[in-house]
Amino acid sequence: MTQLTLCMPSNRDLRHSACAIETALIYAEKRDCRLVVSDNSRDPQKRARYENSHPRLTYVVPAGDNGLQNMISALSKVETPFLMPMGDDDEIYGLDDKQPFEFSDLPADVIGVRPQTFIWTNEKGVQQVDRFSIIADDAGSRMLEYNGKANGNNALYYSVYRSDLFKSLYSLFSQAHPTRGGYCDWALSFALCAAGKFLSDDSTIYRYDLGRWATSSTLEAAKANLYLQAGLPETAEHFSALLRFIDVHVFLISLPLPEAERRTAQMTNARLALRTFIHEVAKTPDQYDSEVVYLADLVSATPDLDTAFQISLLIIDRLQEGLAEKYVLFVRAAGGVA
């Protein structure tokens, strides 16, 4: 039985996406898996080349041009128990001298399998190789483990996941998140690490193209653009740690975790993200209005997590009026009470 589907939302034209698609097709042949490409590039040459072209390829053209909907379109065609998201500027290779990973034998507490990830740029080639696993026994410890090992990049996102879990979390994000912004990838990865362990697959190489994230100048512009594209003001980047705290807190509500473990994970998330935001406000108060500074001080003096979360919603409403109310709806969609 075919276990895995590579899942590629693609917006680049044929010239700039062909390498990603071709390596994925070769990988699919070698590893008995499938490839779904949801293509909103509107490139007729690309469509002519790949539509109905290969027995292992499902090629679809979504109705709109929205990037999130392109991902949802790709996910909707996944029928295998495991899936792997893949960028259309990345490449994937199966090593012939390594035994392919057997996904059907995964223990129940493992939700992800990550390939050897080559962090790559066109100018400098491979910058680093990530092979780390996430194997702590509880959700909060796995979040801490990921925070310590990520080394500034979120390439772990491009791993193999149990399809039901990944699709469920992504469905919540696409249907209920207040902004559905591309900046949320870190929050999604922390939530996925909380959901279960990640093992390492040395038989697969994933070449992750840093692209616009490669240099400090393009990195800052790219980060700012993610918030603007999500409909947030230019100042949103100053609230990035707070946004991540709130997002991960809500994602954790939706995960099938024992309540005590969920609570510990939410406390860990507060230490990682909320504490960072409070420190940033204290360090550079001139970047925030006086009410944000006051509320951040109030959070700092609050020992109760639920109260701190409610105050955080008040702060986020200072970033954009009405955002707190949207987050209340997000909490309810996740199965919580706000």
Q: What pLDDT is stored for residue 217 in this prediction?
A: 58
Residue whose C-alpha is closest to residue 314's, from 302, 303, 325, 300? 325
Q: What pLDDT is stored for residue 215 in this prediction?
A: 53
Give Cβ neighbours of residue 289 (< 8 Å, ≥ 6 apart): 318
**Which residue shows structure tokens 């024992």?**
258
Question: What tokens does 165 get?
Answer: 């879990």
Q: What pLDDT is stored for residue 77 in this prediction?
A: 97
Q: Where are the alpha helices (DSSP H) in 66-120?
A: 67-75
C-beta atoms surrounding 122 within 10 Å: 10
**Which residue shows structure tokens 């012939």?**
96
Q: What pLDDT is stored for residue 216 in this prediction?
A: 58
C-alpha 312, offset from chain centre:
22
Q: What pLDDT is stored for residue 35 in this prediction?
A: 98
Q: What pLDDT is stored for residue 288 in this prediction?
A: 96
Q: Where are the domains positioned within the chain?
A: 4-213, 234-334
C-beta atoms surrounding 131 within 10 Å: 11
**Which residue shows structure tokens 């980047």?**
237
Q: pLDDT under 50 in the chain at which residues?
A: none
When computed from its CA atoms, the radius of gyration of the chain, rounded to whole angstroms, is: 20
Query: CATH classification of 4-213, choosing from 1.20.1640.10, 2.60.120.200, 1.10.10.970, 3.90.550.10?
Result: 3.90.550.10
Q: What pLDDT is stored for residue 64 in this prediction?
A: 82
On whether the CB atoms of residues 153 and 210 are closer than 8 A, the answer is: yes
Task: Decide: pTM greater than 0.85.
Answer: yes
Average of per-residue pLDDT values in the chain: 94
CA angle (117 as vertex; 194, 257 as ends), nearest 5 = 10
Q: What pLDDT is stored for residue 153 in this prediction?
A: 86
pLDDT digits over 203-242, tens only? 999 999 887 555 555 666 677 789 999 999 999 999 999 9
Helix/strand/coil (H/E/C) assignment for every residue in 8-36:
EEECCCHHHHHHHHHHHHHHHHHHCCEEE
pLDDT digits over 177-196, tens only? 999 999 999 999 999 999 99
